[in-house]
Structure 1
Amino acid sequence: MSMDIKQIQDLIKFVSKSGVNEVSIEEKDFKITIKTNQEPTYVTASLPTAAAVAAPVAAAPVAAIPASSPAAAAVADESANYITIKSPIIGTFYRSPGPDKGVFVNVGDEIAPGKVLCIVEAMKLFNEIESEVSGRIVKILVNDAQPIEYDQPLFIVDPS
């Protein structure tokens, strides 16, 4: 039995959602261990840059969750309809694809599902973070080249 990257990603998603601390699978030609009891917990997604991943470090799809965290509470008071886009991974936040290139999005820009919002670098892998919602960028909560944590709010979006 051999596992392709998609099967490994699905397994990591399953383990991270199940609450299990560790899963280990060993066959004669490979061994995989997934641990979720450590900080940070890594989950996975089908991002193009994740296909070349050798360690169990990839990115989760950006979860569009209504603003309810303490960091987003001030904005949530203004409008309970805003959506907070959070980081799916730990890494370094970049607003543009390169130092001499334009930013992906600015405050006031309209976004739609699939629109690249930023890049998060994790262990030398540059993961494009795509929107899963439609709306207008109200606020960008992170500075360019700033280290970010898993689940840290990155953008506030007005879906109306």
Structure 2
Amino acid sequence: MLKIQEIREIIKLIDQSDIEEFVYKHDGSKIELKKRVNRPVEETVRYVTEQVQAPQPVIRQEAAPEVPAVEAPAAEATPAQEAEKSNLHKIVSPMVGTFYQAPSPDSDPYVKVGSEVTSDSIVCIVEAMKLFNEIEAEVEGKIAEILVKDGELVEYGQPLFLVEPK
């Protein structure tokens, strides 16, 4: 049976993807996630266990109210904003998870500022639900800046690195 934190991670991943329906079955248990398109986000999780005849609990996640974005003053541009103005390429996180610069705590980081990368160079790992996903540069060039710290939680689409393309 999945833990509630794992279910929450699945809900986040489904919410940020194009998937409209997700079903997970394991050891007589079943989890269904359905996303309404063009409506407030609502996922319903149902537990079905063959041995238990009790009513099925339902967990609902309501969409958080939208908070107006506060823009930084023009004089204090963030590295990601500077990248959009210059020719720097952003390597972004393809998922929600934990960012790691190295394959293990006692290993050297995959890349440092100034490291040369090719399109298939591994630049970091993003851990999501106990799966370690290697992230590739997808561009040739030199690492100009690392935008997140080791062990930091990252969001889908969050810039991780800035690369000077060749």
User: Normalised by the size of structure 1, how large is the TM-score?
Assistant: 0.57
Partner of 2:152: 146
**Of 72, 76, 92, which aligns to 2:84?**
76
**Larger strand share, 1 or 2:** 2
Equivalences for 1:1-160 in 2 at 5 Å? 16=17, 21-22=20-21, 35=34, 72-77=80-85, 79=86, 81-160=87-166
Q: Which amino acid aligns with 2:20?
A: N
Distance 2:145 2:133 in 1: 21
Structure possessing the higher radius of gyration over alpha carbons? 2
Distance 1:158 1:90 in 2: 25
Alignment check: 8 A CA contact 2:83 2:89 kept: no
Q: Give how far 1:119 is off.
A: 0.5
Q: Give how far 1:142 is off.
A: 0.4
Name structure 1 gaps, 5 residues minimum: 1-15, 25-30, 40-69
Q: Which amino acid aligns with 1:148?
A: V
Q: Give how far 1:75 is off.
A: 3.4
Distance 1:101 1:145 in 2: 14
Q: Give how far 1:113 is off.
A: 1.5
- When the two chains are superposed, the root-mean-square deviation of aligned CA atoms in Å is 3.1
Q: Give how far 1:143 is off.
A: 0.3
* Percentage of matched positions with identical amino acids: 50
Aligned length: 109
